[in-house]
């Protein structure tokens, strides 16, 4: 189920037997119809849990319907930077998730990240 990886659900799993192992993964986060203050709370909780310490990269989606829309892009990147360790590459605002572009993501496939161009490429 795709919704299992929303930050809301992911933070709710911390400290339970269902808590995912995030070490050595590229973590994609997306949310829909949430106010930015809730995303701040969820990412602060996730970052404080040290679960993001060993991820290879943190990728944020476009946050379809999250409000206020005028601050969405800048605040989202700021929240991702605050949650992750300083040496982890961050890309925010990529067009995936619940908007017009809804891409299927293969699980367990190596990816290549270009933070300058804000691109993620699947490697075969």
- Which tens digits make up the pLDDT trace of 58-87? 998 888 888 888 888 788 889 999 999 899
Q: How far apart are CA 72 and CA 79, in angstroms?
A: 10
Q: How many domains does the chain have?
A: 1
Q: Domain residues for 57?
A: 2-11+20-122
Greatest pairwise CA separation for the chain in angstroms? 38
Assess contact for 27 and 64: CB atoms under 8 A. no
Does residue 38 sit in helix, strand or coil? helix
Q: Name which residue leads in pLDDT, 35 or 5.
A: 35
Give me the CATH number covering residue 35. 3.50.30.60
Assess contact for 83 and 44: CB atoms under 8 A. yes
pTM: 0.84
- Which tens digits make up the pLDDT trace of 17-65? 999 999 999 999 988 888 999 999 999 999 999 889 999 999 988 888 8
Neighbours of 68 (CB within 10 A): 9
């Amino acid at each position: 189920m795709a919704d299992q990886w929303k930050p809301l659900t992911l933070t709710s799993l911390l400290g339970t037997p269902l808590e995912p192992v995030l070490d050595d993964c590229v973590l994609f986060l997306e949310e829909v119809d949430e106010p930015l203050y809730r995303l701040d709370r969820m990412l602060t909780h996730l970052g404080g849990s040290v679960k993001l310490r060993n991820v290879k990269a943190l990728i944020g989606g476009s946050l379809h319907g999250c409000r206020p829309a005028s601050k969405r892009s800048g605040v989202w990147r700021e929240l991702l930077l605050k949650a992750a360790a300083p040496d982890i590459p961050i890309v925010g605002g990529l067009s995936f998730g619940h908007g017009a572009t809804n891409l299927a993501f293969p699980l367990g496939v190596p990816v290549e990240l270009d933070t300058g161009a804000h691109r993620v490429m699947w490697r075969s």
